[in-house]
């Protein structure tokens, strides 16, 4: 169930997860418990699905990527910058068995919405 006809790549990795180096910002998240699992909504305005990676490592859900400033052009200088443009990462522990969870993703109006089919 994807909007915008793009898919987020979801990868299961070993327990030896290493965080990328450098400062990372963390997007805001809402987590909902549903009858068939969990729905997790990430605030990722301005981030394309091509720049998002979803990883599952044991009991951790890891969403990382980059927000790029695509508006700036050569010869421009900034007057005021409040939006964070750089790499991001958010690691969440979800209280269910993620090793066998079905994961569906959706992108809608600046939200990345993940549906985890586990209880």
Average pLDDT over residues 32-37: 94
Number of domains in the chain: 1
Q: What percent of the chain has pLDDT over 70?
A: 81
Nearest to 101 by CA among 40, 16, 29, 27: 40
Say if 94 falls within a structural domain: yes
Q: What is the mean pLDDT of the chain?
A: 85
Tens of pLDDT, residue by residue over 9-30, are 666 666 555 666 667 899 999 9
Average pLDDT over residues 65-79: 91
C-alpha to C-alpha distances, 52 to 27, 56, 76, 88, nearest whole angstrom: 12, 14, 27, 9
Average pLDDT over residues 64-87: 91
Question: Residue 89 belongs to what domain range?
Answer: 9-16+25-68+83-117
| pTM as predicted | 0.80
């Amino acid at each position: 169930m994807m909007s915008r006809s793009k898919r987020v790549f979801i990868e299961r990795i070993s327990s030896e997860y290493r965080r990328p180096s450098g400062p990372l910002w963390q997007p805001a998240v809402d987590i909902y418990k549903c009858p068939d699992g969990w729905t997790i909504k990430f605030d990722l305005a301005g981030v394309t699905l091509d720049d998002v990676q979803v990883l599952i490592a044991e009991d951790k859900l890891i969403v990382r990527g980059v927000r790029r400033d695509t508006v700036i052009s050569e010869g421009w200088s900034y007057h005021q910058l409040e939006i964070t443009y750089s790499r991001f990462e958010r690691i969440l522990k979800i209280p269910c068995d993620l090793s066998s969870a079905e994961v569906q993703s959706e992108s809608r109006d600046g939200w990345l919405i993940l549906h985890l089919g586990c209880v």
